[in-house]
Amino acid sequence: MNSPVKVAVIGSGNIGTDLMIKVMRLSDRLEMAALVGIDPGSDGLARARRLKVPATSDGVDGLIAMPHFEEIEIVFDATSAKAHLANNAALQPHGKRLIDLTPAAIGPFVVPPVNLDEHLDAPNVNMVTCGGQATIPVVAAVSRVTPVAYGEIVASIASRSAGPGTRANIDEFTETTSHAIETVGGAARGKAIIVLNPAEPPLIMRDTVFCLTGDVDPRAVRESVEAMVGEVAQYVPGYRLKQQVQFTAIGDDEPVHTLLPAGAERPTTKISVFLEVEGAAHYLPAYAGNLDIMTSAALRVAERLSERSLVGAA
C-alpha cells in the first residue's frame, strides 16, 4: 500500500485549524506534515503541537526550513489574498501543488462537483469563496439544463463566523464569486452579495440562488439541482435544500434588462433555490457552515490530487 501524501496548511486561524483536523480525522490518503502560522500564541499552533503535528510560527519561510519540507507535495493556503501572492511565489519554485482558500485567484477556480477534473494538473487551484462553493454548484446545475442569462447569489453567514481575514476580503469575495458564477457556473452574467448576520444566537449559513432563464421544464431543473445538492452533500453532510426549487414568471413590466449582458434575450423565468449549510463542528461551531464548506471542498480537491500522486508512485 502506498504511503499517504504529505500536506501542509498555511494559516493557523479557524480555517487552517479546521482543515488540519479534517485531514487527520477524515482522510486516509493525506498526512498532516505541517501547520504554519505567524502568531506563536495562536490556538491552532498549540493544538497542532498537542496533536504531534510539526508547527512553525515563522510563516512560509519556516515551512521551507523544515527538514521534511521536500516530502510535502500539497500545500493549503488559508491566509489572505495578499499573503497568498507571496506564499505562491515562495513555493512554486519548489514544485509544490497549492490549494488556495483565499480570494487571490492566481490559479483556476475549482468547485469539486462542477469542474475539478478539468484542473487536476494545475500547480495552483483556487477554491473561490465560501459563498461560491455553496451556490455555484446550483447555478451549474441549472445551466446544464437551460441557458442562464443572469445568476445572483446571496450568502448570509453568522457575523461571529466572519473573522478578520473574511472581513478584510469582502470586496474580493464579491468580485471573485461574481466572476466564478460566470466562468464555472455558466451564467452569462453573475452577481454575488454577502450578508454578515449579527443575530444571536448565531444562525447557520443560508444561501439564496436566483437564475433568470427562458422557458424551462421545471421537473428537469429540479432533478438537476437535487442531484447536484446530493453530490455536494457527499463531502459536506450539512448541505441541503431548504425547500423545493421555485419558478416564477417574469412580467413584461419588470426591468430585468438592467441585469443582462448586452444583446441578451429577455428572460421569462426566475428560478429561486434556497439552501442552508450546517457545519460538521470538527473545530468550528456548527453555525460556521461557511467555513466548513471551504475546508471540506479543499479536502476533496486534495484527495483527488493525491490519487494522481499515489498512482504515480505505484
Q: What is the maximum alpha-carbon separation in the chain?
A: 67
> Grid coordinates 456548527 are at which residue?
286
Give the per-residue pLDDT at 310.
55
Compute the mean pLDDT over every residue in the chain, rounded to the nearest whole number.
95
> Which residues have a catalytic role annotated?
130
What's the rounded Cα separation, in Å, for the pair 49 and 178? 39
Residues of the chain with pLDDT under 70: 1, 309-314
Give the per-residue pLDDT at 314.
43
> pLDDT digit string (tens) for 263-299?
889 999 999 999 999 999 999 999 999 999 999 999 9
8 Å CB contact between 177 and 215? no
> pLDDT digit string (tens) for 150-181?
999 999 999 999 877 788 878 888 999 999 99
Sign, Cα dihedral of 12, 127, 121, 303: positive
β-sheet bridge partners, residue 10: 36, 77
Query: Which is it for strands 246-249 and 239-241: parallel, antiparallel or unpaired?
Result: unpaired
What's the rounded Cα separation, in Å, for the pair 180 and 176? 6
CB atoms within 10 A of CB 240: 14
Domains and CATH numbers, the chain: 5-127+293-313 (3.40.50.720), 130-285 (3.30.360.10)
For the chain, strand residue ranges (E) read: 5-10, 30-36, 55-56, 72-77, 97-100, 124-126, 148-158, 190-197, 205-213, 239-241, 246-249, 269-277
Cis peptide before 201 (omega within 30 of 0): yes
Q: Where are the alpha helices (DSSP H) in 202-288?
A: 218-233
pTM: 0.94
Give the per-residue pLDDT at 167.
86
Q: Where are the alpha helices (DSSP H) in 40-195?
A: 43-50, 59-65, 81-91, 112-115, 130-143, 164-168, 170-183
> pLDDT digit string (tens) for 40-50?
999 999 999 99
What's the rounded Cα separation, in Å, for the pair 16 and 5? 18
Give the per-residue pLDDT at 89.
98
